[in-house]
Homo-oligomer: A and B are copies of this chain.
């Protein structure tokens, strides 16, 4: 009687959480959009209880923010905050890369080169979604190799907060693929440094990768999703 595959025994609020997290991560919501419990519950076909807990968890992870009204909204874009997060990401992700360099294996190198090839192909095909996915996978493959689960989760939290903006920018900037052609070159240098066991150079290039894309798309994001006053300033200036 072992014909039965194991049933999904996750709780409802876990599934709701995953769905919401995925949606936020992919930039499906516009920054600042208010999420009401009842509405989300209705559209997901559940009661409000699981939605409440999911929203509160996402607020704790700072993917969502709680307004003074006590309503919950997608984190609005803030250029200063974005800049700080990028600086933190540069420091933390290059640290993870340095650790990964110490634990490198031939398998890691070959997997990374393969992922970078896939990314080049996505650039050629102008397939934005595949591009973003291969880029993300490339980075997280390195961070996983560091074998520091806590650090890995911190990085995941940071991607959850910066990812949506970058995805939105990529999608709306015409010819954004060109930028990633340079990205694959930086990735190649990362692979090279990892293979040589040069932790410093590998980490520096990861930081370069992050900082470069942020500088390239940051102002674009501010224009897309900036607060009224910010965009007003931009328009005036």
**Residues of A with Cβ closer than 8 Å to B?**
11, 52-53, 56-57, 60-61, 70, 81, 84-85, 87-88, 91-92, 95, 148-151, 154
Contacts and interface: CB of A to CB of B under 8 A. Distances in A.
A63 B112 CA distance: 34
Nearest to A91: B95
A154 B88 contact: yes
Nearest to A87: B148
A70 B151 contact: no
Contacts of A53: 52-53, 56
Contacts of A151: 84, 88
In the assembly, how many copies of this chain are there?
2
A57 to B, nearest CB: 5
A150 B87 CA distance: 10
A81 B150 contact: yes
26 contacts: A11-B70, A52-B53, A53-B53, A53-B56, A56-B56, A56-B57, A57-B57, A57-B60, A60-B60, A60-B61, A81-B150, A84-B148, A84-B149, A84-B150, A84-B151, A85-B150, A87-B148, A88-B148, A88-B150, A88-B151, A88-B154, A91-B91, A91-B92, A91-B95, A92-B92, A154-B154
Nearest to A61: B60
Contacts of A60: 57, 60-61
Contacts of A57: 56-57, 60
Nearest to A153: B62
Nearest to A85: B150
A57 B91 CA distance: 27
